[in-house]
Structure 1
Amino acid sequence: MTLLLTLDDGSIQRKLAEAVDLARAAVLEDAGAEQVGAHVGVDREDAVSASHLFEATVSGYRGWRWSVTVALAGEEEPITVSEVVLIPGPEARVAPAWVPWDRRVQAGDLGVGDIFPVEKDDPRLVPAYLESDDPAVEEVAMEAGLGRVHVLSRHGRLDAAARWHSGEFGPRSDMARSAPDVCGSCGFFVPLAGSLSAAFGACTNDISPADGHVVDVEYGCGAHSEIEVEVTSSVPVAELVYDDSLIDFEPAPETSAEVQPEVEPETVSPAEETADEAQVEAESASEY
């Protein structure tokens, strides 16, 4: 057997895989030809054994298969049949996994009038006369004398905290990931008392989907108290705006004719002007 486990070059598995006729003969002997269908495959069990699978045509067992396990004890030994069993296939309808009766009730199953007793040694609860290491619980117990019969243990608080943190109103929910802010900064957030106050509280906003529920401080929704909506005019404003505070300049067209320079008029002094007037008067007198 040691040689088979250490020195096998694949020949043993080939021999086991080729033993289809031997496996069929074994299942026909147990079930009959009318309940055995086609060969559908072979599964390796270990170094010296394999299981051949045949379709089962048994009434009420649709999708099930016959499994015939064959083995080889030595290289010179013949292949033998170890067992023949009926097993479910990948599409077979099978019963769900068995769950103890005290664990079958899930969250949300409790209805009106139902009673669900607590286990005697439930780790989530401790007697109220023991210190619960929660200041809020100790304060209430002192004010009321002894207080309640049982209070939450540290295990119970951690269990609830883990469930709330990963639940619908925790930071990983779709609502929280798309929220503008978290509950820890919201005015509608009321923290819990005791050691849970650092991480959880109750929502009091009736618009929020978490109203009346325990929420994580990192949860959030679109009804946060500090959200401000920008109010704009309902009158549409044109996107194109003209700015008439600027002056546009356009260059003057160029002319082909040359501009002649202006000739400044000659200036005459007052003395020359008086002499000219005297000469004109003398010429006028000589004509008469």
Structure 2
Amino acid sequence: MFKGSIVALITPMDIKGNICLKSLKKIIYYHIKNKTKAIVSVGTTGESSTLNQEEHINVVLKTLEIADGKIPIIAGNGSNSTIESITLTKKFEKSGISACLSVTPYYNKPNQKGLYLHFKKIAKNTNIPQILYNIPSRTGCDLLPKTVIKLSKIKNIIGIKEASGDLSRIKKIKKKTKKNFLLISGDDETALNFIKLGGNGVISVTANIAAKKMYKIFSLALKKKFKKANKINNKLIKLHKNLFQETNPSPIKWITKKKKLMKNKTLRLPMVSISKKTKIIFIKNNFI
């Protein structure tokens, strides 16, 4: 279910910063049409850090409703408070979501014991499958392979979105986890190499605007047709890199709006739209 191209969906907002349901419906239909394998709703790209809990829950549930069973929905449930993550997760019980994606606690900088106990406690308080998410560059802490391996023994922890940039971790984790433990890339630029080393897919920012190509790349890669996958991926390399020219999700929201997949590029403070310099880069490279 969670293999191939999965989108880290942006959360569209109107000019006042309220959730834009019309645009949400449009981008969900775009992903259904272009065969994206699953949607992550209100993950970190979905601006979970600036939505209050009521909004967070409502966006996930509305995404489920719009998707209507046509595509699996993974709900972001991460927080730097274990109690808050558990509370949020419980709101999704019996909702129909397929899994939760839980980012490592930001700012707190817990050690490996703290990380283990954090994810263990969340998992033990729900039956919903849990996917760990490691992105040290944004959270200030690093979920090491030895801790991932230990957590993988918990029944409903089913995989990890790994975005440390260290591809050597794939082999280390894969060697000591159960066969069906999912290894999912969190970095578009290196995701194809991640698959070549034994990964199962990518949770992608690029897929927000290149869903069809991302679906083709990772469908081919999972069939080990790497030459064909490389050919398509090479056309997206500049886009993969430049979507992080400024802090995500500012660039992807700007391009998504320009491609008319949503009405506004609105972000909530402290996030702001991209600079004129970055806009020129996107225009010169024909990203819009």
Taking structure 1 as the reference length, what is the TM-score of the superposition? 0.19
Question: Which has the higher relative contact order, 1 or 2, with Cα contacts under 8 A spaced 6 or more apart?
Answer: 2
Structure ranking higher in strand proportion: 1
Taking structure 2 as the reference length, what is the TM-score of the superposition? 0.19
Structure ranking higher in helix proportion: 2
